[in-house]
Amino acid sequence: MFASVFAFAASAAAQSESAGVSQYFNNCASCHESNDPGHQAPKTSVLKQMMPERILEIMTTGSMRNMAAGLSDADKRLIAEWVGGRKIDGELVGAAEKMPNRCASSPQVRQSGAPAWNSWGVDYRNSRYQPGAAAGLTPGQVSRLQLKWAFGFPGATALYGQAVHDGRLYVTSNAGYVYSLDAETGCVHWGFRADSVVRSGFTIGQLNPKDPRFLIFFGDIRGNAYALSASTGEQIWKTLTDPHPLARITGTPVLFEGRLYVPVASLEESESGQADHACCSFRGYMSALEAASGRQVWKTYTIPETPRVIGKNSRGKDMLAPAGAGIWATPTLDIERKAIYVTTGNAFAALSDGVGSVTSTLYSINPMMGAAVSLGVISQTVWGLAAVRFRNHAESC
């Protein structure tokens, strides 16, 4: 029996994600978002491929030191962390190799009957249900749980999803690290540094019954999906699901029969709410990847239409539509009906012809081909519970 307790402040969690967006658009975007041929500055989408440590170095001692001379050290850091997608850790203080509590041994991860909580919703049905036998405790024992151990995140904050499998606890920090901890003692089996903050939860599973390896799957706030060895933390593959610079994976990918189903959303609506941004161009989508290689099998957008220019804002920047309808939550698989159920967020920009009606909607997606069908508009949502009005159905759920 074990318990893990994670607490974090919302402001600290958000710092690597969007705290520097105002400083960036107020001080940098006039060049980096300009379409003027006279400006040679790289676009924001190019900068977002760089590490935050490198961006900070360019602003302090590199080619942009004169342009950034009027900024405080704190604002430079915020800009670097927003563009780079994670908290700065130039000294690698969060690296597992530097930690004193390394595990003496790290046996291979395998199928296990030990207490577990795999993925966000426990199973591909997204049931979020844990029977007492699987949890290893009874409801009466919950009130008597006591802290057994604590793990400190060096120079960072605990962030978002956790998963438990075969006696290991997988966690992440806002410095972009993923850790495999021993659930019994809290010692560190391994650490892995992603390109940016890992916002999703984790899914652990075998590629197929004949392959004994267990992999851990997750996504970051740059739209990258990852597969690591659950035993060693070795990267098996990394796939950029879409080149849009504000794409992010928040819902936990779901693994089933050799395919990984990855939902993708975006913070374009809030992060680009600046006059120098041409808003909005992101459309939510679901990607199906080969679990063994990361190769994309299909990708389905929640808004089929490609955004087009519909006007100009007060700064002369293009205004585009339709956009939005990101998939923020973990998909649910219905194997009997051969369907994947997902819900979408709101529209960022919609055309007058009703394209915006695809947002705040429940979709059914064919897992083999990716064809999507809208089932109905969500009229009320409360912490993931939805009241849905189905088209062509008399009942509601």
Residue where a domain terminates, one of 54, 84, 114:
84
Q: Is there a domain that residue 288 lies in?
A: yes
Q: What is the mean pLDDT of residues 67-88?
A: 88
Give Dmax (Cα) for the chain.
Answer: 70
Q: What is the CA radius of gyration of the chain?
A: 22
Q: Which residues of 119-128 are buried (b: 16+ CB within 10 A; e: fewer)?
A: bbbbebebee
**pLDDT value at position 366?**
73
Would you state the torsion angle of the CA atoms of residues 33, 38, 40, 41, taken in this order, to the nearest 10 degrees? -30
Q: Write out pLDDT tens, residues 136-183.
A: 888 899 999 999 999 999 888 887 778 999 999 999 998 899 999 999
Q: How far is Cα 170 from Cα 269, in angstroms, rounded to an integer?
A: 31
Q: Is there a domain that residue 193 lies in?
A: no
Would you state the torsion angle of the CA atoms of residues 271, 276, 279, 283, taken in this order, to the nearest 10 degrees? -50
Q: Which domain holds residue 393?
A: 247-397
Helices assigned H by DSSP within 242-343? 268-271
Residue pair 284/372 in contact (Cβ under 8 Å)? The answer is no
**pLDDT value at position 236?**
97
Q: Is there a domain that residue 175 lies in?
A: no
Would you state the torsion angle of the CA atoms of residues 27, 32, 34, 38, taken in this order, to the nearest 10 degrees? 110
Residue 269 maps to which CATH number? 2.40.10.480
Q: How many CB atoms lie under 10 A from the CB of residue 61?
A: 9
Q: Is there a domain that residue 92 lies in?
A: no
In which residue are the tokens 């997608």 written?
A: 85
Residue where a domain terminates, one of 84, 101, 132:
84
- The answer to whether residue 80 scores a pLDDT higher than 90 is no
Q: Is there a domain that residue 75 lies in?
A: yes
Q: How far is Cα 327 from Cα 247, in angstroms, rounded to an integer?
A: 11
Global pTM? 0.81
Q: How far is Cα 50 from Cα 55, in angstroms, rounded to an integer?
A: 7
Q: How far is CA 253 from the centre of its chain?
A: 9
Q: Is there a domain that residue 261 lies in?
A: yes
Residue 67 maps to which CATH number? 1.10.760.10
Q: What is the mean pLDDT of residues 251-256?
A: 94
Q: Is there a domain that residue 195 lies in?
A: no
Question: CA dist 249 to 10, 142, 224, Å?
Answer: 18, 32, 7
How does DSSP classify residue 313? -
Residue where a domain terminates, one of 60, 84, 108:
84
Residue pair 281/298 in contact (Cβ under 8 Å)? The answer is no
Task: Give the pLDDT band (50/70/90) at residue 17.
Answer: low
Of 11-20, 29-38, 58-67, 101-110, the one with minimum mean pLDDT is 11-20
Q: Residue 10 is encoded by which pair of tokens?
A: 């919302």
Task: Give the pLDDT band (50/70/90) at residue 390.
Answer: very low
Number of separate domains in the chain: 2
Q: Write out pLDDT tens, residues 348-384.
A: 887 655 554 555 566 677 776 666 665 555 443 333 3
Residue pair 323/348 in contact (Cβ under 8 Å)? The answer is yes
Residue pair 279/348 in contact (Cβ under 8 Å)? The answer is yes
Q: Is there a domain that residue 36 lies in?
A: yes
**pLDDT value at position 51?**
83
